[in-house]
Chain A
Amino acid sequence: MKLITKLWIALGVLILLSPLGLVLPDHFKAGSAWGEWGSDEIGKLVGYVPKGLEKLGELWKAPIPDYAFKGWEEKGLAHLSFAYIMSGIVGVALVVIAVWLLGKCLVRKNE
C-alpha cells in the first residue's frame, strides 16, 4: 500500500477516535481550556464580565460552535460524539479543499 493511502486511512481512524477528546475531559471533570471561557463563565471566575470581552465575544457566530450542532448541547455525550465526528469530517474536507486550492496557485508556476 502506498504511504499516502496509509496516511489517509490514519486520518480516518483519527476522525473516528476524535470523541475521545470530548469523553475523556468529561470523565475527568475537566473544564474549558485556560483562557477559552465564555462570558458567563468568566463572570463567575473574576466577578465581572470585561466589557470589551463581552462585546467582541459576540462578533462571530460560528455555524458549528464548539464542534456541536446548535440545540444539541443538552443531548448527552452520544449525540455530542456523533456531532464531533461529523465536525471532524466536515473540517478535514474543508482543510483538504483549501490546501488543494492553495496548492493549485502555489505549484502551477514551477511546473
Chain B
Amino acid sequence: MHIPDGYLGPATSGVFYAAMAPLWMAASRIVKKTLRAKQVPLLAIGAAFSFLIMMFNVPIPGGSTGHAVGGVLVAILLGPWAAMIAVTVALVIQALLFGDGGITAIGANCFNMAVVIPFVGYYTYVLISGKAEVNSKRRVIAAFVAGYIGINVAALLAGVEFGLQPLLCHTAEGHALYCPYGLGVAVPAMIGEHLLIFGWVEAIVTALVVKYMQKQAPELLEQEVSK
C-alpha cells in the first residue's frame, strides 16, 4: 500500500499533503495533552513495531505481495492520535531511507495508513468492545475485526487514489501520465488482495497482541476505552 513517486499526479499528492498538515498538527496538540513521559518508550515501540511488521511481506503465490501495518494495534493500545504519529514516523523513515513509498506520496500514504487505519480500526474496536471486560474474549474478537476492517478501508482508498489518476492526467492520445490503471482495475486489485489475504494478517496480529496484553498489561487496554 506504499504508493511510490510517480503514481499520483501533483494535484492528488498536494491534496493529501494539505489534508495531512492540520491532522498532524491536531495529533501533536492532542498527544501533548494525553501522553505522559513514561509512555514515550511505548510510543517508540509502537512505531518500531509498525515499521517492522511492514517488512514482513506476505506472498500471494505467483502474484503480488502485501503486509500488515500494525496501525490498529497501536491505536488500541495508545489511542488513534498517538498511532497517527507512530505510523507517520515509520512511513517517513521508510520513504526517505528505503524508498518504500514515494516522497511526493507521503501525504497520501500517511492518510491511508496513519489516519484511516488507526481511526477506522480504533472506533470499530470501541464499538464492538462495548462495555466488555478488559480481559474478555469479546475484546480479542473486537481487535480481530478492527484489524481486518481498518486495513481494508485503507486499501479501498488507496485503490481509489490509484484509479483516479488516468482520469485526472493523460496525454492527448489517452496515455496515462501517472498510474495507468483506472478505478475498474485498481479498486478490485487493492481491495481484493486485502480482503483475501493481507486483511487477515492485520486481524491476527492485532488480536494476538491484544490477547497478550490482557495478561501482561491489562491497564493499557483499560485506559483507552475510558477516554
Residues of B near A102 (CB, < 8 A) are 28, 85, 89
The complex places the Cα of A15 from the Cα of B177 at a distance, in Å, of 38
Cβ-defined contact, B176 with A50, below 8 A: yes
Is B9's CB within 8 Å of the partner chain A? yes
Separation in Å of the B93 CB from the closest CB of chain A? 5
Cβ-defined contact, A95 with B32, below 8 A: no
Interchain CB contact (< 8 A) of B62 among A30, A48, A99: A30
> What does the 1/0 interface line of B1-44 toward A look like (CB < 8 Å)?
11111110100000000000000000010011101110011111
Interchain CB contact (< 8 A) of A22 among B2, B35, B57, B104: B57
Separation in Å of the B108 CB from the closest CB of chain A? 11
**Given A8-B45, A11-B49, A109-B32: A51 and B177 within 8 A (CB)?**
yes
- Count A-B pairs with CB separation below 8 Å: 212
> What does the 1/0 interface line of A1-42 toward B look like (CB < 8 Å)?
001101110010011011011101101111111111001001
Separation in Å of the A28 CB from the closest CB of chain B? 4
The complex places the Cα of A62 from the Cα of B99 at a distance, in Å, of 5
Separation in Å of the A106 CB from the closest CB of chain B? 5
Cβ-defined contact, B178 with A103, below 8 A: no
Q: Do most interface residues of chain A lie in helix, strand or loop, or is the interface mixed?
A: helix
Cβ-defined contact, B43 with A103, below 8 A: yes
- Report which A residues bind B (CB closer than 8 A): 3-4, 6-8, 11, 14-15, 17-18, 20-22, 24-25, 27-36, 39, 42, 46, 48, 50-57, 59-67, 84, 87-88, 90-92, 94-96, 98-100, 102-103, 105-107, 109-111
7 further A-B pairs in the complex, CB-CB below 8 A; given A7-B45, A30-B62: A30-B61, A33-B66, A51-B175, A57-B4, A59-B5, A63-B97, A96-B48
List 30 A-B pairs, Cβ < 8 Å. Answer: A4-B41, A6-B216, A7-B42, A8-B45, A11-B45, A11-B52, A14-B52, A15-B52, A21-B67, A24-B58, A25-B58, A25-B59, A28-B60, A30-B60, A30-B63, A34-B64, A59-B102, A59-B103, A60-B103, A62-B96, A67-B100, A84-B55, A87-B98, A91-B51, A95-B47, A95-B48, A98-B47, A99-B86, A100-B44, A107-B37
